[in-house]
Amino acid sequence: MDDEISSTTGEAKLLQDPVENQQNFMDAQNFPQDPDTTETFDLDDDDILDLAGGAQDALARHRATRHPEPDTERVSTAGLEDRTKLEDPVKKGETDVGPVRPASTCKAPSALVELVYWRDLQRTGICFGASLFLLLSLSACSIVSVLAYISLALLSVTISFRIYKGIVQAVQKSEDGHPFKMYLEQDIAVSADVVHKYSELALGRFNATVKELRRLFLVEDLVDSLKFAVLMWILTYIGALFNGLTLIIIAHVAVFTWPVVYEKHQVQIDHYYGLVNNQIKDVIAKIQAKIPGAKPKSE
């Protein structure tokens, strides 16, 4: 321990004044000296500077070995990197074009939503036109006639195309095969899992509907039964003006037009809907107040 203290003290003195203390430092470190050259030992300025630099390096290594100091540069660099991560908008999920949403939150809309919102004009136009033509045909003719005519039209197209491709293959002597081979090889069978899934769903809806009708017809709640009676009374007038197929056509057109209209005029529609809804609630509350025994449900 004393040797280390004396060595450190000697090195410190050498750093303070290397010219005056170089001989003492060499004696303390037990440097071998030639007795013939002791008197003529002389150092120029460059040698002194080199010796001082080497002693300074040795002193730094000695201090680092005995008392290791924390790596302040690394700590500060790490802190700077942490602050950069917190302040960097790209690391936070923000870019010049806006926040980057995770892929798990970006859900693709279903095919039905894309269809009714006219995302693909060609696909939606074909689907809407074909279904509307079918409904209009059913309103003009019987369902048997409509199915027969549609089947004949489809067979005319497929048979004509099959004969045409056969003639082309015979003339060109090609072996392309059946023109509808790709469609014939597709698996269109409905799996048992899908049937089981949707049958359970339909059964649950059917049971819920039956229970609700029993509750309404047996007057479990007087207000709900009165509402149902008013609805049936309104449907008598609607049935006198339209038949069921006409109502289906109107509903079909509304499905393909209402979402687009609501998307463009959502604010105005919500405003007027709120006004009408408040008026209806006020009327229902007045009716419930005048009917004895009819109490509004506690929400």
pLDDT > 50? residue 121: yes
CB 12 within 8 A of CB 59: yes
Averaged pLDDT, 99-107? 42
- Residue 55 falls within a domain, yes or no? yes
Last residue of a domain, one of 53, 75, 97: 75
pLDDT surpassing 90 at residue 11: no
Burial, 68: exposed, middle or buried (Cβ in 10 Å; 0-12, 13-18, 19+)?
A: exposed
pLDDT of residue 45: 55
The sign one gets for the Cα dihedral 153, 156, 162, 165 is negative
Spacing of C-alpha 106 from chain mean position: 2
Range of the domain at 211: 192-218
Q: What is the pLDDT of residue 95?
A: 42
Looking at 75, 99, 124, the residue that finishes a domain is: 75
- Indicate the range of 40-44, 78-82, 237-241 predicted with least confidence: 78-82
Provide the pLDDT confidence category of residue 91 given band limits of 50, 70 and 90.
very low
Q: Which residue, 60, 75, 90, sits at the end of a domain? A: 75
Pair 14, 22: CB distance under 8 Å: yes
DSSP assignment of the chain: -HHHHHHHHHHHHHHH-HHHHHHHHHHHTT----TTTSTT----HHHHHHHHHHHHHHHHHHHHHHSPPP-HHHHHHHHHHHHHHHH-TTTTTEETTEEPPPTTT-PPPPHHHHHHTTSSHHHHHHHHHHHHHHHHHHHHS-HHHHHHHHHHHHHHHHHHHHHHHHHHHHHHT-----TTHHHHTS--PPPHHHHHHHHHHHHHHHHHHHHHHHHHHTTSSHHHHHHHHHHHHHHHHHHHH--HHHHHHHHHHHHHHHHHHHHHSHHHHHHHHHHHHHHHHHHHHHHHHHSTT--PPP-
Instruction: Decide if 104 is inside a domain.
Output: no
pLDDT at 59: 64
More confident residue, 235 or 86: 235
Domain assignment of residue 52, yes or no = yes
pTM of the prediction?
Answer: 0.51
pLDDT band, residue 52 (cuts 50/70/90):
low
Q: How far apart are CA 245 and CA 284, in angstroms?
A: 32
State yes or no: pLDDT of 99 exceeds 50.
Answer: no
Q: pLDDT at position 254, please?
A: 92
Residues 6+ apart with CB under 8 A from 6: 28
Q: Which of 11-15, 159-163, 258-262 bottoms out in mean pLDDT, i.e. has the lowest?
A: 11-15
- Token look-up 């060609």 returns 122
Q: Is the pLDDT of residue 246 over 70?
A: yes
Q: What is the mean pLDDT of the chain?
A: 74
Nearest C-alpha neighbor of 247 from the set 139, 146, 126, 137: 139
| pLDDT given for residue 160 in this prediction | 95
Kindly state the tokens that stand for 229. 């009676």
**Residue 179: inside a domain:** no
Is 67 contained in some domain? yes
Within-domain flag for 111 = no
**Within-domain flag for 236:** no
Structural domain count of the chain:
2
